[in-house]
Structure 1
């Protein structure tokens, strides 16, 4: 199976059909259904519903689409004239989004096609076969754009003729909102392309193989993971990560929470008993695809214990009880921290997952992403690749030492200091906040369950309480507008608070001054419970810990590496910067740069096996994954 251009017109999902042409209304559910966009010889657009023993088609005219839960693989198509409602569920999210976009475009441009008169319809051969709808083309997009421009309100965009002194009425506002919505729909139609190496990984995931993909910082591992999540059926796919914040970024749950075994300190038998609780057991048995992000930070002993638990609770002796594993991470970055032994036996260090017997059992098909997207400067990329494996030449040392003279401060925005210890970063932030003049303004998070505020503190990148002052150095912790540079990690400074609502106004390095409003984070907890937190998407950014910076891209960063204590920590810190000119190292020393010897040996074996596999079995690359 592959996801190609034409499959934006086909969708595999579960369907519940609700018929309103009888009293009471009647509901029928099919777990396996296929939706297809088709046309008849008169170019009328239909939705074909192919069921195990039945195929129906419905004219796409006057329909209403509800897509509030599209991120959960759900949508509803209402056919008022036919008194029918189709409830779509368990659809791969990216395919569902692509399918609905294609349906929208084809319906929107249908009016521009020549109409067939009634006489021609009566004389036609009704048995003539139907045609499948073609994917969206550039011609379709041009038609759609022209149609929106003709129908655009004179109050929208550059054509706004409303006098500046006149207050807009509700009709004006509604027209502007509709115009913006139409423009955004047109913009969203451009496909989210993957690189050729990323397509191969997605194809392997679709083929049901256990896979592990890795790559240096900035190669798009998180982006690729989200694409994989988008092509798998959500009801049987579980996204997990080793930390709460990493899990939140992919809309998942921590690995420990999903497993239902607490910290994993207990024996295997006790862990099996904990995982056999009804609400946890249901999740284990329903899961067919298990994603683990930041696998490098998962302790090898815990990974092995988890594999044994999976086999026991699922009653299946295949590795991980027959669940497909999709693992992602870079073992050259931060190593695992063992929850099992950290409290009472600090001499027992954590092990890597690849050192466990379970790793070999799973027969993972491995891939390494090579193309770096975060840094564009070839010199800096080369330096980081050497730092990653613990190699520091005299030339590299001189180049990094020279960054001490970089002037990063601009427009009142200071460089973020990366610290090796979290408590150091917290202390710097609080002391600098106290030094600022004026009253602090407190923003309290609105949580769906205040009893679980501490859990949400760990699972989301925002605190339950945030104190800000004018002049506070802050960092954006959520993508608000990628095209304008308002992305996770963007740096800025508080310039004022809005008169209405008191929201902080931030001047960013991207030369924008923007009022920041509360955003919502959705977190999945044990037993399928969904928690939400609404909070201002900012953090104090005079300082940040290296551990919490993993996955971020920082506009201007300063670091002291003298207290680095883990292998890979210096590499993580350095790779947060976009370029050498946006980086300042206070006390660079080559002795602080090191890679774990076990990781070096693992990657040597890994790359040798990868070359042998690719030489024996060339992988066919699909033309384009949507």
Structure 2
């Protein structure tokens, strides 16, 4: 566990109530650090230490209740029953907040002995002498807390939210009431990071403008989510070049954020569009801007939003002083270009040279475990197709990759072709038709939801329908985003699906959320399924498919063949029909960019200074800090 899980820095409001429930005292700190400490009597306290004054407050963790529903948005509240005080936390890095609440949960339910004294002991509350910071939770404590959580029954409690009473699971031990929701003590972003991922994360924490790249399956999206989770939500905007990619990282499209439409207008008009109060306020409060799938951002558009940033923020620094975190692979799908127009990659823009100085490449592949297949994909990524590679890919044409009645998903170069195949195959099936309509929190946002999430607003199924799971349900059982299955029956109107892993799953509705530029969130509730006889290459970006076939004769973009092939888990789960080496090519500008990129990375020097590392700049490429 992170050694800093016993503290979190965020905005804090402390509110004390009297017996009648009226506010008698209220303190608001824009920035404060919360630490878990214990006194010599082993009692645990939350210490609130403001950034701008020495008014330290300690609250004993006894009889507390935690409201953690919005942890992913960096918000939570802790109600101290004995003190009649509630802590409202906001703008907290989500990973830090989850770690902090998890430590409270574990320390109070799996480790803390019975208190020996009064929680209002003057020494415990006021004296700094004898106060000791809580140590990180150990794996033994984590497992013990999980076991106790499984044994807890339901209880009804009033949460600290202003106007709602909700029924939730709570764990009560040693006077502590904490929701036992799985997410309280299991952070989905917790996992062993590689050294190369840690290097990027450290550069971001140091406030550097970074671009990190890597081949398909090297954990770029995982790292990006990790980065977003350590940044303050209120001043961080996560964006992506496409709606699906934006939804994947819990953000909005770059065009939504920028507020200048497609960016085709002259610069003065772009200034006017971005000066609208609702757009300008977002530009001004942003300190960290994340852009995923940067390979699909047009260079001219990038130049314009950089100029807009300086203009709106009245700051002449590159990008108006906003920290940039850029992620993507230029060997994959390029920006959309008009017919006969040259592709204008982002790295060719003037702004790229001014803004992006820290460059990293992730090289450890996690999606495919077969070294031979990884080697093939790395060669195809750079447009190199040997006779041996051609023969191995052609040999897959005769492979039988179907299992348990699950057919291979056909990857198509055009979205229309994929839709036609799915509709035709569904019509061919006999039997009862089941229709499932999504429930959207705002029906006027249906078009936006359709563009930004893969789950359809209207889903029609029959027994025998080939489907794809669109959400991670149970990783251990193979119920992951991209898993292939077939509908075997309907139970109480809901589809039962047999997946390729052999798991049967009675599918239930799940919820997706899309963040708008106004920070409002709209939801869609729908079955996490999509017809999967066919899928477009563009829509498959980011997916891992366990049973896939393709014919690449109609590919029209550089990198499109590589994106399609790299969706497969292995050569054994892949079928390529009529492969031809002419179907694989790479833009020469991209090859030159990566050639320069790698050469300059080798020229970087790391000079140790005591326990720290000094960052040396050379040819606009910098080392880790």
TM-score, length of structure 1 as denominator length: 0.89
Q: 1:161 aligns to what? A: none
Q: Where does 1:30-179 land on structure 2 (aligned, <5 Å)? A: 30-51=29-50, 52-53=52-53, 54-111=55-112, 113=113, 116=116, 128-141=129-142, 143-144=144-145
Q: 2:165 aligns to what? A: none
Report if aligned partners of 1:287, 1:323 keep a CA contact under 8 Å in 2.
yes
Determine if the alignment matches structure 1 residue 352 to structure 2 residue 352: no
Q: Return the structure number with greater helix share.
A: 1
Q: 1:608 aligns to what? A: 599
Distance across 2 between alignment mates of 1:392 and 1:152: 58
Distance across 2 between alignment mates of 1:182 and 1:422: 39
Determine if the alignment matches structure 1 residue 510 to structure 2 residue 501: yes
**Partner SS state of residue 428, structure 1:** helix
Distance across 1 between alignment mates of 2:80 and 2:468: 46
CA change 1:535–1:431 in 2 (3 A) is same
Shift of 1:481: 1.6
Q: 1:15 aligns to what? A: 12
CA change 1:620–1:516 in 2 (3 A) is farther
Q: Which runs of 4+ in 1 moved over 2 A?
A: 21-28, 113-118, 121-129, 138-149, 178-193, 346-350, 526-529, 614-621
Q: Where does 1:23-34 land on structure 2 (aligned, <5 Å)? A: 23-34=22-33
Runs of 5+ consecutive residues of structure 1 not aligned to the other structure: 154-172, 622-626
Shift of 1:179: 14
Distance across 1 between alignment mates of 2:147 and 2:534: 49
Q: 1:391 aligns to what? A: 384
CA change 1:184–1:565 in 2 (3 A) is closer
Distance across 1 between alignment mates of 2:107 and 2:84: 23
- Root mean square deviation, CA, Å: 2.7
Determine if the alignment matches structure 1 residue 585 to structure 2 residue 580: no
Determine if the alignment matches structure 1 residue 6 to structure 2 residue 3: yes
Q: 2:437 aligns to what? A: 444
Distance across 1 between alignment mates of 2:122 and 2:279: 60
Report if aligned partners of 2:15, 2:23 keep a CA contact under 8 Å in 1.
no
Shift of 1:615: 5.4
Q: 1:248 aligns to what? A: 247
Match of 1:417 among 410, 420, 440: 410
Report if aligned partners of 2:243, 2:253 keep a CA contact under 8 Å in 1.
yes
Q: 2:157 aligns to what? A: none
Q: Return the structure number with greater strand share.
A: 2
Shift of 1:566: 1.1
Which structure's relative contact order is higher, taking Cα pairs within 8 Å and 6+ residues apart? 1
Distance across 2 between alignment mates of 1:280 and 1:190: 31
CA change 1:189–1:529 in 2 (3 A) is closer
CA change 1:185–1:30 in 2 (3 A) is closer
Shift of 1:189: 9.9
Distance across 2 between alignment mates of 1:206 and 1:387: 34
CA change 1:179–1:314 in 2 (3 A) is closer
Distance across 2 between alignment mates of 1:189 and 1:258: 27
Shift of 1:143: 4.5
Shift of 1:262: 1.3
Shift of 1:14: 0.4
Match of 2:590 among 599, 611, 616: 599
Report if aligned partners of 1:101, 1:189 keep a CA contact under 8 Å in 2.
no
Deviations along 1:187-231, one digit per CA (max 9) or x if unpaired, are 669942211110111111111000000000000000000000010
CA change 1:15–1:115 in 2 (3 A) is closer
Shift of 1:148: 5.9
Report if aligned partners of 1:520, 1:535 keep a CA contact under 8 Å in 2.
yes
**Partner SS state of residue 459, structure 2:** strand
**Partner SS state of residue 604, structure 2:** helix
Determine if the alignment matches structure 1 residue 304 to structure 2 residue 265: no
* Count of residue pairs the alignment pairs up: 586
Q: 2:397 aligns to what? A: 404
Q: 1:522 aligns to what? A: 513
Shift of 1:184: 7.7
Report if aligned partners of 1:41, 1:128 keep a CA contact under 8 Å in 2.
no
Q: 2:162 aligns to what? A: none
Shift of 1:347: 3.0
Q: 1:365 aligns to what? A: 358
**Partner SS state of residue 326, structure 1:** strand
**Partner SS state of residue 280, structure 1:** helix
Q: Where does 1:227-626 land on structure 2 (aligned, <5 Å)? A: 227-338=226-337, 342=338, 346-499=339-492, 502-614=493-605
Distance across 2 between alignment mates of 1:373 and 1:605: 26
Shift of 1:482: 1.8
Distance across 2 between alignment mates of 1:606 and 1:30: 44
Report if aligned partners of 2:385, 2:581 keep a CA contact under 8 Å in 1.
yes
CA change 1:390–1:122 in 2 (3 A) is closer
Shift of 1:520: 1.1
Distance across 2 between alignment mates of 1:299 and 1:585: 31
